[in-house]
Amino acid sequence: MKLESIGPDIWVANGTEIKFLGLLLGTRTTIVRLADGSVWIHSPIAFDTELAREIERIGPIRYLVAPNVYHHFFLREWQGRYPDAQLVGPHGLPFKRPDLSFSLVLDELEQDPWSDEIDRVVFTGSRAFDEHVFFHRASRTAILTDLIVNLRLENQSRIGRLVARIEGVAYPGGRTPLLYRLGMRDKVSGARAVNAMLEWGAAQAIISHGEWFRENASQELRKRFDWLPLVL
Ligand SMILES: [Fe+2]
């Protein structure tokens, strides 16, 4: 089984590792079954036939969601295999990837088509990139991408271990990467987004790279975003 069930109508799957700044980053996707039976996929990982079959058993793939302008590498193959699926991404990604055809731009939506089941806030204020963060209400799961990274050091090279420590992304204390924190020009707007996340009262929080938070998610988020002026 590639999919791990982590609550009602929600699954995660781990994908191939990618190299970034000397770090070995695992990848992770989150899959949600919507009330109409269709499937919403957050940050698709590398295409894999077995994984695709397991997802097909859940329901027809309706949405392929890119949460920020960096998580777009595997969209093309998924869309090629599932041409009826709608590609959804942040402002800026359609310009970066003119070869892909996006149906929805998150920043331009007045209301998300899945808003009865999944909430969303956009984390802004960094020169690096914005990130759309989701919350699946039925399972009380927050779904983050790159805002927190939490890497086990034993899987890293010597350089990787050093980079992970400097970036502040070493398990179990992984938090927002230093490079991203340094790029913050508006901490108040970042804090506003995190406060909105904390109001969700998440039980668990998924991240794309490293160990995710299977319990006490709100507390974990508060701790890992403590570099922001949070009010909650
Ligand atoms: Fe990433």
Spans of the chain, pLDDT less than 70? none
The rounded Å distance from CA 187 to ligand 1 centre is 21
The rounded Å distance from CA 208 to ligand 1 centre is 6
Taking the C-alpha atoms of residue 25 and residue 17, their distance in angstroms, rounded to an integer, is 5
Cβ 27 vs Cβ 20: under 8 Å: no
Per-residue pLDDT, 125:
97
Per-residue pLDDT, 26:
97
Longest dimension (CA), the chain: 48
The rounded Å distance from CA 144 to ligand 1 centre is 10
Taking the C-alpha atoms of residue 124 and residue 226, their distance in angstroms, rounded to an integer, is 16
Q: What is the 3-state secondary structure (H, E, C) of 54-76?
A: HHHHHCCEEEEECCCCCCCCCHH
The rounded Å distance from CA 27 to ligand 1 centre is 8
The rounded Å distance from CA 146 to ligand 1 centre is 5
Residues in the chain: 232
Residue type, 216: N
**pLDDT tens readout for residues 17-40:** 999 989 999 999 999 999 999 999
Query: Domain residues of the chain, as ranges?
Result: 4-224
Per-residue pLDDT, 43:
98
Per-residue pLDDT, 184:
97
Per-residue pLDDT, 231:
84
- What kind of architecture, by CATH, is found in domain 4-224? 4-Layer Sandwich (3.60)
Instruction: Answer positive or negative: Cα dihedral of 174, 48, 202, 70.
Output: positive
**pLDDT tens readout for residues 145-154:** 999 999 999 9
The rounded Å distance from CA 45 to ligand 1 centre is 11
Per-residue pLDDT, 215:
98
Residues with CB under 5 A from ligand 1 (ion): 146
